[in-house]
Structure 1
């Protein structure tokens, strides 16, 4: 069994460094990459002291239906988790990702990979700028694979080595407003091999723009991801700003 298969999660991609310090120079990516990230609030990311959310996935074909709740403090990379382990036992834990080596096997092999998966799905528009290993290309206007009309096609390809799922290809279809309308993922080493979804129910949590609902399909079977209880806490404040 591979390490990735221990956790029933979607879209696991381990990132060397999460956050602004991992940005590549603007000359190495197309202009639209920065436009997308800014649309979702990247310029205000430094104001975010903490972000909380619950990741919910429903994939009937695999009898997979689960929820995981998180609080992430990006400046310190401190994570709090409330959910279950792979055996269905309730787990509540807080840990520092800089000290992951000293954590239990459950945290290292189950919870932290799940955090990477869920955080990536929530904030993936920022990873277009943050992820140094991926190549990003603007493929111009293309027909939407699911809906009617066309949108700007942006291709994001990961290298064949490194991370949990090497060689993944992420294709974003972006509207004139800079918002992602649809997403297509082709994966090599983890299910689903093809994931198609639309982005719906956009809300603002403080300065961040988030699509709460991602209805779609995995390998041709219905698969839905949605986020609940999304909120951010800004630097200098103790108030949570709910997505609305």
Structure 2
């Protein structure tokens, strides 16, 4: 178990998207009755949230690269309907149910899980997560590409999650697709981390950005081995 402890603790140096999701992660997603969608709903729809109810299981590998070398890999199996989670890292395996009381090692694993899911489907978090404030600005200069993009900012309150009070500035294009984002720890005015969204792929109706790069290209976060099992 020493290996698994080290690899889940590696989250501290890799990224910071670790807020606890609302319980709606394991519930059905209902289509809004209103005909006018919010920007958050449009972004989630573009990424395929309407197909989420059909997913029985999703597998994916979360990988962190430094100067071209992979330094961290976590392999996940998640059943959203039951909230069963399995982590395989190095030679160790941890299984737990997010609806159950977790021990200290499972909590560490769950922190890593929430982080990695946030990177995988951040568009859905805009409409899933509770205790948030959303603000919007049109035609902003994106910090990495310098392109003119629309901006939606999500700020978490100080009472929930593993890292309460955090903020994410998300830049998206006219097609409601994420292009880059800035993470600000504790809603600080200065960026804690920023990355691009690249190499989009669509699997069973869900669209993922499988590659993220820091402005200098030295740090990368990517996903491999994404597999989806749909409800029969």
- Normalising by the smaller structure, the TM-score range is 0.7 to 0.9
> In the TM superposition, what are the counterparts of 1:97-136 in structure 2 within 5 Å?
97-101=98-102, 104-108=103-107, 110-136=108-134
> In the TM superposition, what are the counterparts of 1:165-180 in structure 2 within 5 Å?
165-180=163-178
1:179, distance to aligned residue in structure 2 (A):
0.5
Aligned equivalents of 2:124, 2:210: Cα separation in 1: 16
1:188, distance to aligned residue in structure 2 (A):
3.0
Aligned equivalents of 1:78, 1:20: Cα separation in 2: 10
Task: Please state whether the residue corresponding to 1:213 is helix, strand or coil.
Answer: strand
RMSD (Å), alpha carbons:
2.8
Counterpart in the other structure of 1:232: 228
Counterpart in the other structure of 1:69: 75
Q: Retained in 2: the 8 A contact 1:20–1:130?
A: no
Q: Retained in 1: the 8 A contact 2:49–2:206?
A: yes
Gaps of 5+ in 2: 1-7
Aligned equivalents of 1:139, 1:8: Cα separation in 2: 34
Counterpart in the other structure of 1:162: 160
In the alignment, structure 1 residue 14 sits paired with structure 2 residue 20: yes
Aligned equivalents of 1:105, 1:196: Cα separation in 2: 30
Aligned equivalents of 1:26, 1:124: Cα separation in 2: 23
1:17, distance to aligned residue in structure 2 (A):
1.6
Counterpart in the other structure of 1:188: 186
Q: Retained in 1: the 8 A contact 2:56–2:231?
A: yes
1:228, distance to aligned residue in structure 2 (A):
0.5
Task: Please state whether the residue corresponding to 2:214 is helix, strand or coil.
Answer: strand
Change (3 A) 1:206 1:70: same
- Match of residue 36, structure 1, among 18, 33, 43: 43
Q: Retained in 2: the 8 A contact 1:206–1:231?
A: no
Counterpart in the other structure of 1:3: none
Task: Please state whether the residue corresponding to 2:127 is helix, strand or coil.
Answer: helix
Task: Please state whether the residue corresponding to 1:99 is helix, strand or coil.
Answer: coil
In the alignment, structure 1 residue 54 sits paired with structure 2 residue 52: no
Counterpart in the other structure of 2:92: 91
Corresponding pairs, count: 216
